[in-house]
């Protein structure tokens, strides 16, 4: 088969795969009156911005909360998992293998069950419906992943580099902060990107722990739209398009980190 034919087939397959994404964008521009047309409108040539106007009017607070929760989750995740990764990779703690095993297993626990446990605890502590509570819960998705990524990455740092710092008189903490962290920038970026994306996308914790709050994330914004039997599908899909921006940016700006993150958990190089 010629290369050009293969490219053609590849483009067609990608188009089929991404059709739902195209459809989301298309519907977001479709007028209410055209929404139930038969045949449906395939290209939004005479589209409307009504949907996006509704997003700006109604969804901005939700987007703000999601941004805040996402950034909070990133900070908490990196602060917890980078030192742990360094320890497991370079400081050879006794019992480190057992801890790595626990972290692997932790990743397999269904979020919905964690959510139930958190609900019972938050109810008692009175921290339901708070952004901080959501940050804490969302970080449980990313912390085990973060430790595994940091461990894998920092194992590759040459020990000579660390020894040199120690000979120069740097303590373990100083070495970590001034030598290990700066050379681990790629790992920090990967973990931060995924922590943000997962917190931004989280629905399970949001709906159980933040369902009645005044500060709700965008996933609940969309969910309320659907739940209210809202027939304004252009507004729903416009919100969905906006909610997809972080994922799109991630793919454009940090493609190689994304592929690395997907395979990190599954296959060791």
- Residues 99-128 binding another protein (CB under 8 A) are 99, 101-106, 108-121, 123-124
Query: Which window, 50-58, 98-106, 151-159, 183-191, contacts another protein (CB under 8 A)?
Result: 98-106
Q: Least distance in Å: CB of 100 to another protein?
A: 10
Q: Which is nearer to another protein, 179 or 197 (CB)?
A: 197
Q: How far apart are CA 263 and CA 269, in angstroms?
A: 9
259 touching another protein, by CB under 8 A: yes
- Shortest Å distance, C-beta 182 to another protein: 17
Restricted to residues 25-64, the positions that interact with another protein (CB under 8 A) are 27, 35-36, 38-40
Residues 6+ apart with CB under 8 A from 265: 107, 145, 148
Nearest approach, Cβ of residue 64 and another protein (Å): 16
Inter-residue contact 191 to 85 (CB < 8 Å): no
**Residue whose CB is less far from another protein, 16 or 158:** 16
Tokens of residue 78, six digits: 């990196």
Point out which span in 48-56, 155-163, 181-189, 200-208 binds another protein (CB under 8 A): 200-208
Q: Which stretch binds another protein (CB under 8 A): 54-62, 156-164, 182-190, 217-225?
A: 217-225
Contacts to another protein from residues 222-241, by CB under 8 A: 222-223, 226, 233, 236-237, 240
Q: Compose the 145-184 pattern: x for residues touching another protein by CB under 8 A, - for all others.
A: --x------------------------xx--x--------
Nearer to another protein, 18 or 56 (CB): 18
Taking the complex as a whole, how short is the minimal distance between the CB of residue 135 and another protein, in angstroms? 11
Say how many CA atoms lie within 13 Å of 104 toward its Cβ.
10
Closer to another protein at the Cβ: 143 or 187?
143
- Nearest to residue 233, comparing CAs of 10, 25, 6, 18? 25
Residue with tokens 């446990």: 117
Q: Binding segment for another protein among 48-56, 88-96, 155-163, 184-192 (CB under 8 A)?
A: 88-96
């Amino acid at each position: 088969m010629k290369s050009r034919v293969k490219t053609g087939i590849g483009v067609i397959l990608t188009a089929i795969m991404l059709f739902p994404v195209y459809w989301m964008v298309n519907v977001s521009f479709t007028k209410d009156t055209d929404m139930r047309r038969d045949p449906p409108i395939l290209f939004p040539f005479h589209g409307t911005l009504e949907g996006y106007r509704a997003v700006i009017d109604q969804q901005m607070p939700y987007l703000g909360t999601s941004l805040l929760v996402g950034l909070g989750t990133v900070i908490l995740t990196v602060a917890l998992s980078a030192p742990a990764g360094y320890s497991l990779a370079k400081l050879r703690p006794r019992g480190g293998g057992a801890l790595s095993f626990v972290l692997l297993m932790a990743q397999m626990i269904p979020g919905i069950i964690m959510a139930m446990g958190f609900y019972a605890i938050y109810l008692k502590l009175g921290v339901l419906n708070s952004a901080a509570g959501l940050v804490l819960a969302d970080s449980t998705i990313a912390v085990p992943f973060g430790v595994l990524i940091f461990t894998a990455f920092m194992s590759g740092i040459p020990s000579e580099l660390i020894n040199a710092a120690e000979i120069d008189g740097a303590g373990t903490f100083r070495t970590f902060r001034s030598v290990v962290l700066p050379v681990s920038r790629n790992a920090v970026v990967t973990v931060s990107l995924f922590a943000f994306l997962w917190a931004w996308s989280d629905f399970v914790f949001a709906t159980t722990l933040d369902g009645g709050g005044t500060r709700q994330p965008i996933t609940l914004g969309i969910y309320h739209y659907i739940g209210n039997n809202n027939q304004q599908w252009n507004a729903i899909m416009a919100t969905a398009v906006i909610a997809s921006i972080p994922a799109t940016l991630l793919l454009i700006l940090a493609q190689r980190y994304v592929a690395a993150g997907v395979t990190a958990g599954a296959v060791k190089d």
